[in-house]
Structure 1
Amino acid sequence: MGSKKKKAASVFIRLVSAAGTGFFYVKKKNPRKILEKLEFRKFDPRVNRHVLFTEAKMKSSANTLNTDLR
């Protein structure tokens, strides 16, 4: 009888710059509480301005936080 692993409550997301510089921030998000895509106005040092950052998926497969340590 195999026990199922619990699904992680938080996932890492990427906030990608709308300026097209390739700069990004990494943030944790609880997808059960926040259903819509995140958008923030943050500083992009490559253009030296505040620009819109929108949510994108992380590229690595280890994008979940495992809170269940066994």
Structure 2
Amino acid sequence: MQENKKMVLTSNSEDRKKMGQKKKTASLFIRLVSAAGTGFFYVKRKNPKKIQTKLEFRKYDPRVNRHVLFTEAKMK
């Protein structure tokens, strides 16, 4: 009877360890580089499992003082 209690205690302590652990996120950081060639970039998070195409946004580039196309590039 005491052996059963010990087994229950060990299984509960293992469950507690698992409860505190977080899953790793699948998202990656990507760089959105200006098409104007100024070298200005934004950093954005992307989940490649959900979005498999390359991202393109029309965002503000302060170096040329206008909105231009920003395309996805790898982080260095």
Q: TM-score, normalised by structure 2?
A: 0.68
**Which blocks of at least 5 consecutive residues in structure 2 are unaligned?**
1-22
Higher helix share: 2
- TM-score calculated relative to the size of structure 1: 0.74
Which blocks of at least 5 consecutive residues in structure 1 are unaligned? 1-5, 60-70
More strand by share: 1
Runs of 4+ in 1 over 4 A off after TM superposition: none
Identity %: 87
Q: Matches of 2:44 and 2:70 in 1, distance apart? A: 11
- Decide which structure has the larger Cα Rg and report it: 2
> How many residues are aligned here?
54
- Which fold has the larger relative contact order, with Cα–Cα distance below 8 Å and residues 6 or more apart in sequence? 1
